Amino acid sequence: MTDTAWQPLTDGTFHPVLHASRGVALVLLTAPSCSACKLARRMLPGWLREEVQHFYSLNVAEHAGIAKAYEVFHLPALFLFRDGLYHARLETELSQTEMRTEVARLLAADAQEEP
């Protein structure tokens, strides 16, 4: 998969799109100047193709409301949703093994309250 796997979100579309998504959705909060974000955009769809059905990105340089609401201070920031519900913040090393392990662990737990 390439960068085209990512569907863009805005502050206005974030909640409606995610609440309508079935299966597992991964949201990447990103900015054009973030090199780690560029790596995540390139690698995550291939690494998590079996675990994640929807890949969404939100450019915080243009849409800062969600970043503020989710208390995002460092990029990239990753969030998991399942069947339209917020599940967890994904915080781990940007490697295939670590990502897959952490996604499995987080999805095995109950969903959390949305920030």
pLDDT in tens, 33-42: 999 999 999 9
Print the domain residue range for 80. Answer: 3-108
Question: Phi-psi region for residue 56, left (φ > 0), alpha (ψ -120 to 50) or beta?
Answer: beta
pTM of the model: 0.94
pLDDT in tens, 41-69: 999 999 999 999 999 999 999 999 999 99
pLDDT-derived band at 2, boundaries 50, 70, 90: very low
CATH number, domain containing residue 63: 3.40.30.10
According to the model, what pLDDT value does residue 3 have?
A: 55
Task: Please compute the mean of the pLDDT values over residues 6-15 and round it to a whole number.
Answer: 97
Interhelix angle 96-108/35-47, rounded to 10 degrees, is 70
70: three-class secondary structure by DSSP: coil
Query: In whole angstroms, what separates CA 10 from the centre of its chain?
Result: 13
Q: Give domain status of residue 113, yes or no.
A: no
How many separate domains does the chain show? Answer: 1
